[in-house]
Amino acid sequence: MKLKVNAKLDPAFLPMALVCREMREGASGENGHDIVVAAERNQGCTTVYKTRIYKDGTGHDEENCKFIDRIAKTLLWVSGGYKLIIAGSKVVGEYIKSAFSYGGSRDFDVRFMERVYEEKFEVILTDIEHAPENKSSASPVGRHLDGCRIGFDAGGSDRKVSAVIDGETVYSEEVVWFPKLNSDPNYHYEGILNAMKTAASHMPRVDAIGVSSAGVYIDNKIMVASLFLKVSDEDFEKHVKNMYIDVAREIGANIPIEVAIDGDVTALAGAMSLNENGVLGIAMGTSEAAGYVDMDGNITGWLNELAFAPVDFNEGAMVDEWSGDYGCGVKYFSQDGVIKLAPYAGIELDESLSPAEKLKVVQKLMAEGDERAKAIYETIGVYFGYTIAYYCEFYDIRQVLIMGRVTSGEGGVILLERAKEVIATEFPELNKKVTLNIPDEKARRVGQSVAAASLPKIK
């Protein structure tokens, strides 16, 4: 596979976008057949991906299986689900059933999804004629600015709250806290409650509460969240799962509340500021975080956990320590991505430094015009350009916003320009419709907590 724009420091990079394109082209006509991969989640909502693979038993079975393994995994982490449906190939279906099982190569993914959706994970095989169709859970959440609202943004190092009356912020505060270090869920509960009570005291009443928080949320329940890292499973089940719902009840009876992942709220804030839809927001920091607002301006209810989605088909790519899988976004679009490339650029980083401190070393070199640091950001930019094309396989995108500490300074500008070069050169059809940008002051005008306040509709 030949890339038109090479990843300077990673010549073995095999972009998933090109793998998808080559498979479709190679399996066109009589060489192949259609296959459908679908992921089903809560309330029967289903996300479908359709493509082509080579005919079973024609010497391409291993290639087909490895390709659909990557597609199925991506679909799970994009949309979420506890059920995979493979329609169109028994050979591939049996491979996926074995991989996505206890003890299989995708054991981590299976157990994670079971925890999120509280359902037994399963893989179902069917023929192409009985392939499922998309069933959306997208809803017009957000952009509601009427009435007296509380917007709460739960960060890992600080919490932000705003009191918003008819779209105008009348009070806002930011408080340092340490949720990831505390095992007592009462610490979290009191912190959230106090923040909301403070905001409420600056308004005549509270009509609605919106929450932006890292993690996975189903029907406003906390399913998985790093904020509660130290809380035991027993205490999580008893005291954490319904925490936001319980806090809302303390603020007042029958107050509508809406909880959304922070990535989605970031994308919503960008969409509100830019007055655009089809917005994918990518934050490159400790990990890769993402959020999406669809073409109708809705939040989809998808997981958008792109840190675990494969972007590199190269089986020799760096392995993520948590999931145990290779080539996933977390090692490409985060501080880990910068650290991974540093030795290939000829930069030695002190192993005693924290990941954040190592990133600062590279950023300092970048600010000084160091060509080695520039090569790192150019390489990440190439990764990103090809990966945006891959994300377009699953999302309908018009605007991409990149943010996070990795994109700060001149490095972010170089990253963005190289990504644009990839799309213009390799994917001219996307170049006409997808805009990549770093949020300027206009895009930052609607804050996270204010966007969060707009989530619920007042009944």
| Domain co-membership, 306 together with 417 | yes
Strands 221-224 and 216-218: antiparallel
The predicted pLDDT at position 418 comes to 98
- Contact between residue 257 and residue 220 where contact means Cβ atoms under 8 Å apart: yes
| Domain co-membership, 278 together with 414 | yes
The predicted pLDDT at position 242 comes to 97
Residue 459, in any domain of the structure? no
| Domain co-membership, 261 together with 278 | no
Residue 336, in any domain of the structure? yes
Of the residues 245, 265, 285, which one is the last residue of a structural domain? 265
Residue 7, in any domain of the structure? no
The predicted pLDDT at position 247 comes to 97
| Domain co-membership, 346 together with 382 | yes
CATH number at residue 179: 3.30.420.40
Of the residues 130, 163, 193, which one is the last residue of a structural domain? 130
Of the residues 209, 239, 265, which one is the last residue of a structural domain? 265
Give the single-character DSSP code of 156.
Answer: S
| Domain co-membership, 93 together with 237 | no
Residue 4, in any domain of the structure? no
Contacts of 327 (CB under 8 A, 6+ apart): 310, 311, 312, 313, 314, 315, 317, 318
Strands across the sheet with 46-54, in order? Answer: 46-54, 32-40, 83-87, 122-126
| Domain co-membership, 279 together with 422 | yes
- From residue 269, give the alpha-carbon distance in Å to each of 28, 36, 207, 272, 445: 41, 34, 20, 5, 8
| Domain co-membership, 184 together with 90 | no
| Domain co-membership, 253 together with 368 | no
Residue 136, in any domain of the structure? no
Residue 377 to residue 9: CA distance in whole angstroms: 10
Residue 201 to residue 279: CA distance in whole angstroms: 34
| Domain co-membership, 331 together with 301 | yes
Residue 166, in any domain of the structure? yes
Q: What is the pLDDT along the chain (459 residues), one digit of tens a residue?
A: 889 999 999 999 999 999 999 999 999 999 999 999 999 998 899 999 999 999 999 999 999 999 999 999 999 999 999 999 999 999 999 999 999 999 999 999 999 999 999 999 999 999 999 999 999 877 777 889 899 999 999 888 788 999 999 989 999 998 999 998 999 999 999 999 999 999 999 999 999 999 998 888 988 999 998 899 899 999 999 999 999 999 999 999 999 999 998 888 888 888 888 888 999 999 898 889 899 999 988 888 899 999 999 999 999 999 999 899 999 999 999 999 999 999 999 999 999 999 989 999 999 999 999 999 999 999 999 999 999 999 999 999 999 999 888 998 899 999 999 999 999 999 999 999 999 988 765 444 446 778 899 999 998
Structural domains counted in the chain: 3
Residue 449, in any domain of the structure? no
Residue 46 to residue 81: CA distance in whole angstroms: 8
Strands 122-126 and 168-176: unpaired
Is the C-alpha dihedral spanning 297, 303, 306, 311 positive or negative?
A: negative
| Domain co-membership, 230 together with 112 | no
The reported pTM is 0.89
| Domain co-membership, 254 together with 299 | no
| Domain co-membership, 283 together with 417 | yes
Phi-psi region of 61 (alpha: psi -120 to 50; beta: other; left: phi over 0): alpha
Residue 139 sits at φ, ψ, to 5 deg, of: -140, 150
- Contact between residue 243 and residue 259 where contact means Cβ atoms under 8 Å apart: no
The single residue listed with the structure tokens 């950023």 is 363
The predicted pLDDT at position 156 comes to 81
Domain residues for 110? 16-130
Residue 27, in any domain of the structure? yes
The predicted pLDDT at position 439 comes to 76
The predicted pLDDT at position 129 comes to 96
